[in-house]
Amino acid sequence: MARLVLGVGGGIAAFKSAQLASLLRKRGHRVRVILTPAAARFVTPLTFESLTGEPVYHDLWNPPRYGDPDEALGEAHIHLSRWAEGALVAPATADLLGQLASGQARDGLTAFLLAFGGPVFLAPAMHHRMWLHPAVQEGVERLKRWGYRIFGPVKGPLASGEEGLGRMLEPAELADLFEDHLHGRDMEGKRVLVTAGPTQEPLDAVRHISNPSSGKMGYALAQAAFGRGAEVILVSGPTSLPDPYGVEVIRVRRAVEMYEEVARRFPEVDILVAAAAVADHRPKGMQAGKIRKEDLPFQVELEPNPDILKEMGLRKKPGQVLVGFAAEWGMDEASARRKLREKHLDLVVLNDVSRPGEGFEADTNRALLVAEEGKEELPLLSKRELAHRILDAVARRLSRG
């Protein structure tokens, strides 16, 4: 739970920032909003006041009173710069980016941003030709050099009715990314490979063997690792999830395809997290076309798929960290330890898939982290929170060398 400033610029995406403010508050953060005068023409201060339960700062010359004990020590923008632990600017308009990149402070938001020393995340939104203007692009490069994190814009329909690179990320995506980044930057300079989702093993052109893995755990891990500064590659089986922002996504279908992609990228990574529910077997010899109902066999001959994680365990170089999952019927620690040894892993995330609301398709998960030197029992967590706890354990291992 953090003390956050949400800065809102004057663009049509400002209406989405109302939802963002509400989301951040629902997640337990204290949110104080600063609107630029232009933003206050799109969405009223009262909207944000009602959503956050905090006064809204929208007029540099007439700042609100927050009622904090140390408030008398400086002007509102200075006071907020001491109060806040992180700041998110959404939408960051061309004008806001330009002011910030050239050190100007014409309103309460830019005054605050110049005074604030903590992490600042910018979510640009504007017409795609404005975004591509060299003044904006050079400003963005400069801001990145100074340590500002920029999320988006992404491609999509714009207010003008055109399509282009200029849309702000969605509020839920921004809230996730922001929280992930606030975790710290302990994965900076690391390359992380994540496998996710199920695999499908075709019997013919229209039938396959698979499992109900949603991919949520692996996608949460990929997003969380990116948030903590890593370069992330996600090799995903078929899922209905959108590509996580900032992550290189390689989509595959069959276990052998997943194996080939992982084997190709494994030598260059520091960390492999295998969250995919890989089908252990595949039908022997896929039939071309569709098998007619009356020709369907009552017994299907299967052959084993490669064990991707085990193979990578054999190729592991010193310093590489390997994390596997074990889906057990009951918390079978002995079996998790066997996997740890047999697959040369550093960490096994043991899930009890017999419990409803946990594992495969659920949004939450209860896990036991098992390592050679010990174990850590975790409570029921959202898959995002669990992703961070797994990465905490990986980061501790990396820092030990």
Count CB-CB contacts under 10 A for residue 135: 13
Asked whether 37 and 10 are in contact (CB, 8 A), the reply is yes
For residue 184, which amino acid is it?
A: G
Q: Which is nearer to ligand CTP, 170 or 257 (CB)?
A: 257
Q: Which is nearer to ligand CTP, 12 or 241 (CB)?
A: 241
Q: How far is the CB of 326 from ligand CTP (least distance, A)?
A: 4
Q: How far is the CB of 278 from ligand CTP (least distance, A)?
A: 4
Rounded alpha-carbon distances, angstroms, from residue 387 to 85, 99, 131, 266, 392? 22, 37, 33, 20, 9
Q: How far is the CB of 378 from ligand CTP (least distance, A)?
A: 17
What's the distance, Cα to Cα, between the start and end of the chain in Å? 30
Q: How far is the CB of 389 from ligand CTP (least distance, A)?
A: 16
Only one residue has tokens 């002011």, namely 99
What are the start-end ranges of the E strands in 151-301?
Answer: 154-157, 163-167, 191-196, 201-202, 208-209, 231-236, 248-251, 271-274, 281-283
Q: How far is the CB of 200 from ligand CTP (least distance, A)?
A: 13
Asked whether 218 and 258 are in contact (CB, 8 A), the reply is no
Q: How far is the CB of 339 from ligand CTP (least distance, A)?
A: 6
Catalytic residue numbers?
211
What are the start-end ranges of the E strands in 142-205?
Answer: 149-150, 154-157, 163-167, 191-196, 201-202
Q: How far is the CB of 336 from ligand CTP (least distance, A)?
A: 8
> Angle at the Cα of 122 (from 119 to 128), degrees rounded to 5?
165
Q: Which is nearer to ligand CTP, 47 or 195 (CB)?
A: 195
Contact residues for ligand CTP, defined by CB under 6 A? 195, 255, 274, 276, 278, 280, 305, 307-309, 324-328, 339
Residue 281 pairs with which residues in a beta bridge?
304
Only one residue has tokens 């050190």, namely 103
For residue 207, which amino acid is it?
A: R
Q: Which is nearer to ligand CTP, 36 or 351 (CB)?
A: 351
Instruction: Give CA–CA dist 53/30, Å, rounded.
Output: 9
CA-closest candidate to residue 230, choices 350, 4, 394: 394
Write the burial class of residue 202 (CB in 10 Å: 0-12 exposed, 13-18 middle, 19+ buried).
middle
Instruction: Give CA–CA dist 198/354, Å, rounded.
Output: 18
Q: Which is nearer to ligand CTP, 203 or 309 (CB)?
A: 309
Output the six-digit token pair for 206: 């229209």
Q: How far is the CB of 341 from ligand CTP (least distance, A)?
A: 12
Residues with Cβ within 8 Å of residue 316, at least 6 apart in sequence: 322, 344
Distance of CA 239 to the CA centre of its chain: 16
